[in-house]
Amino acid sequence: MSNPGTNKVDFHVRDDGIAIVTLDHYPVNTLTNAVQLGIEDSCERISKDKSIKGVVVCGAGTRALCAGADIQDLNKKHERYPKKAFMESFEQLQVPVVAAMQGFSLGGGFELCLGCHYRVIASNGFLGLPEVNIGLLPGGQGTQRLPRLIGAQPAMDLMLSGAHVSAKKALGWKVVDKVVNPNDLLDASIALAKEMSVKNPTNAGRRISELPGPKVDQTLLDRTTSLMNTKRRGESAPQKIIQCVGAACTMPFKQGCAEEQRLFKQLVGSREANALQHIFFAERAAGKIAGLKAKPKPIKKVGIVGAGLMGGGIGMCFANTGIAVVFIDQQQKFLDKGLSVVKGHYARSVKRGSKTQAAVDAALALMSGSVDYSSLSDVDLVIEAVFEDMKVKKEIFAKLDKVCKPGCILASNTSYLSIDKIASATSRPGDVIGMHFFSPANVMKLLENVRGAKSSDTTIATAMAVATKIGKVAVLAGNCHGFIANRMFGQYLGEANEMLQEGSDLVTIDSVAEEFGLPVGPFRLSDLTGLTVGFERRKRLGLVFPDKNIKDWLVENGRLGMKTSKGFFDYTPERKRIENKEVNNQIMKIRANCGITQRKIDNQEIFERLLFPIINEGFKILEEGFADKPSDIDVALCLGYNWPRVTGGPMWYADTMDGGLEKLLAALTRMSNLFPDKKHFKPSNLLVECVQSNMPLAKFWAKNGQRFKVSGKSKL
């Protein structure tokens, strides 16, 4: 079993002549330089020992054979390096080598397996080449071996998605030779090594490097390139992976490997790779809260108040992981409708093949509904998911305070409202916390856990653990209006509307945002989310002016967004946007009604007015103590608003963009002078301090961040 601190390869030879090579680097046997040297030393011993009939390669523990390269170890200097690639060390042995694939075999770990002559995988195992997700390509001959083994198309699918492939699918692709019970993995691998030592002692036909490159139509490569330009816009790694696959199809193996290395070196240390690696590690660091030592409570049953779209999606998250869910709503018809929508989601999942019917049936069996709050008397956690009305939420929490057992955690899914005010309706504010899911809750990965002034450490620890349990990435936020993600994007749509009135146009503004890497611009985003909610809010306040506000005019003319196939734009059934002449004419009329003289706004101004206030707000959130660290903000924006991961998130981008923080400060200062009434352009004091200290935010925060932390106590 692997233990903390281990960094080696164990080697021993059984009495039957089978050598066992065990990678042992806690916790997931990554390929450090020391482990690679251990592999090389083991292979040299095997090649000299004529009594060895076969080899089994495995990993210590049960979590992984090998989870790939150790990224941090890659940048270290070592006294000694391997003479050859580790997968070649195994492949060139003259006895059968079997990879025993338990848990995960990822990246370089999977490439190691491709260097073995045979592969046996546990039925609960997964494999994959996820390097594209950190801005790299598989640099251990994976781009040359995998296409030769399974063909160009499936190889590209696996490498360009970065996804984990199940044992069953791997067997179907003939990536592995056998799928066995996890408890039988080592024995089955030993048996195969012994069998092949008799049937095929020279490993004829089992060295992938000797297989011919697959045939491929250039149109497939071109089509895949075009798809990646859309799907992974701004990323270089996907294009270089496609080039490598092209090399595997047209070049001898060694020449293809040289091309792989040439392209790999272009990516290592690039701005893109550094940014993607930053966000990769930031997601894993988000759940680690400094000073939080409390143990989480076990959560076996959850209550959801509100069976609407959000409540139903939240319920699915829990039921999917085996946690019982009871929905509460005012009337039975609302419960019936909510459960019907949930069943529809599950039915579509089965149709797509992303879930089995058995898994869906098991999840639905864990769901129940009631109109009686007393049904929540035995739940461990209850999440309120009703509309944003403080009075309603306080009434609900007062009821929960009465019916829920002592120690039950009371959470609100509010997007903006004060957790402290909600908690004041109860006699146990220490048990109250915000758990802000993003819509659709069963899809979006982000969960903002919002601590109030009196939220206990146990409550916070439990909310963070719950996120991990249900497959979310949790960021801990302080109790301010909009928390992190919504607060930061608060001025985004407003600035877009103002620039539209000042003289720009819908397509140009959207295009600037989309060229930066956001999936949709502000006006397509408005159409996507729908225009009615904001309209109804303005209507209640008596602030509807269709002759001066384009959004009000759109709603009053039945242009409600994508759900009606028309909003700011018209939409085809494929959701392709088309400009509408009547909308553009109305924008001109509104300018005249408001007495605005149209002016030309260049793309740089659009870019800065859309995006720099978002970054500035991130600095203010840190300055006010409502986020634990800059990287948490990067995670919240990348997962909550699809900020382009290739930039590393807004705070990382501010540090690393051309001109850095000095450029950001200069632009905000200029805009603040031009628009003195707009507080979102006023530079954050933290930003000013970073520039004055001549430090990027990451370095400044590491040195000084502690003095900005206020333990989640709202200053509002």
Residues labelled as active-site residues: 415, 436, 448, 486
Residue type, 492: Y
Preceding amide of 212 cis, omega within 30:
no
Q: How many CB atoms lie within 10 A of CB 444?
A: 17
Q: Are 609 and 499 in contact (CB under 8 A)?
A: yes
Q: Are 529 and 568 in contact (CB under 8 A)?
A: no
Q: How far apart are the C-alpha atoms of 679 and 683, rounded to whole Å?
A: 9
Spatial strand order in the sheet of 126-128: 64-66, 104-106, 126-128, 165-166
DSSP string, 133-156: GGT---TTTHHHHHHHHH-HHHHH
Q: How far apart are the C-alpha atoms of 611 and 312, rounded to whole Å?
A: 33
The residue among 478, 491, 485, 407 whose CA lies nearest residue 449 is 478
Torsion 349-355-361-362 (CA) sign: negative
Q: How far apart are the C-alpha atoms of 451 and 476, rounded to whole Å?
A: 7
Q: How far apart are the C-alpha atoms of 123 and 202, rounded to whole Å?
A: 29
DSSP string, 394-415: HHHHHHHHHHSPTT-EEEE--S
Q: Are 448 and 636 in contact (CB under 8 A)?
A: yes
Please report which residue ranges of 504-546 form alpha helices under DSSP H: 506-516, 522-529, 532-540
Quote helix, strand, coil % in the chain, to nearest 5: 50, 15, 35
Q: How many CB atoms lie within 10 A of CB 412?
A: 26
Buried b / exposed e over 186-196, threshold 16 CB at 10 Å, is: bebbbbbbbeb
Largest CA distance in the chain: 93
Q: Could you tell me the two tokens for 409?
A: 């955690």
574 by Cβ neighbours in 10 Å (0-12 / 13-18 / 19+) ranks as exposed
- CA 190 vs CA 56, 64, 195, 674: distances in Å: 6, 18, 9, 74
Q: DSSP secondary-structure letter at 207? A: -
Q: How far apart are the C-alpha atoms of 101 and 184, rounded to whole Å?
A: 11
The residue among 576, 583, 524, 533 whose CA lies nearest residue 559 is 583
Q: How far apart are the C-alpha atoms of 562 and 565, rounded to whole Å?
A: 4
Q: How far apart are the C-alpha atoms of 300 and 408, rounded to whole Å?
A: 11
Looking at the DSSP assignment, which residues form a beta bridge with residue 561?
566
User: What is the torsion angle, in degrees rounded to the nearest 10, for the CA atoms of residue 495, residue 501, residue 502 and residue 503?
Assistant: 120
Residue type, 93: L
| Distance from the Cα of residue 44 to its chain's centroid | 41
Q: How far apart are the C-alpha atoms of 236 and 229, rounded to whole Å?
A: 9
Q: How many CB atoms lie within 10 A of CB 516?
A: 17
Q: Could you tell me the two tokens for 189?
A: 């691998």
